[in-house]
Amino acid sequence: MKIFVVIILTFLLASSLVADVEKGKRYYMKNFKQKFKINGLDFVQLHTQAEWHALFEDKGKNFIVIFSKKYPKQKKFLNDPKTWKKLQHVRDFAIEYANDSGKVPSCSDSGATNMPFDLEVKESSSDNFF
């Protein structure tokens, strides 16, 4: 019985330490969108997955430096140790939906969708309708 309890507690603790894409989306929408004045899709599309990984290395040091320069009024917010807890999840959100991922974040809680079709506008003729 003790082993079972230890295993369950270990699992719960480990799962709480792992960053989460959905949490990252919520944190971005709640805490970062207003500060950066950029919607979630435009934010995640700023970089490729590899670029996001590089920006968030070493506790997000490069991300903090770059975004502090772009948004000087947010420097204090970005350097707050409490912000790093949220940035870990925002990192996963950004990497999951980076511009080379082929995924687009949805506005609902149901997650993202893969791009199912090409949105290119094609010319048509009214003769084809009848």
Asked whether residue 113 is assigned to any structural domain, the reply reads: no
More confident residue, 4 or 98: 98
Residue pair 39/8 in contact (Cβ under 8 Å)? The answer is: no
Q: Identify the three-state secondary structure at position 106.
A: coil
Residue pair 40/33 in contact (Cβ under 8 Å)? The answer is: yes
Our count of domains for the chain comes to 1
Asked whether residue 30 is assigned to any structural domain, the reply reads: yes
Q: Which domain holds residue 38?
A: 21-107
pLDDT value of position 120 = 54
Asked whether residue 77 is assigned to any structural domain, the reply reads: yes
Asked whether residue 11 is assigned to any structural domain, the reply reads: no
- pLDDT over 90, % of the chain: 59
Q: For the chain, what's the residue count?
A: 130
The two beta strands, 113-114 and 103-104, are antiparallel
pLDDT, mean of residues 2-16: 53
- Quick: pLDDT tens for 17-47: 456 999 999 999 999 999 999 999 999 999 9
Other beta carbons within 10 Å of 88: 19
Asked whether residue 124 is assigned to any structural domain, the reply reads: no
Mean pLDDT of the chain: 79
Amino acid identity for residue 61 in this structure = K
Asked whether residue 34 is assigned to any structural domain, the reply reads: yes
Q: Which of the residue ranges 1-10, 16-25, 43-52, 120-129 has the most confident prediction, judged by mean pLDDT?
A: 43-52
Asked whether residue 119 is assigned to any structural domain, the reply reads: no
Asked whether residue 13 is assigned to any structural domain, the reply reads: no
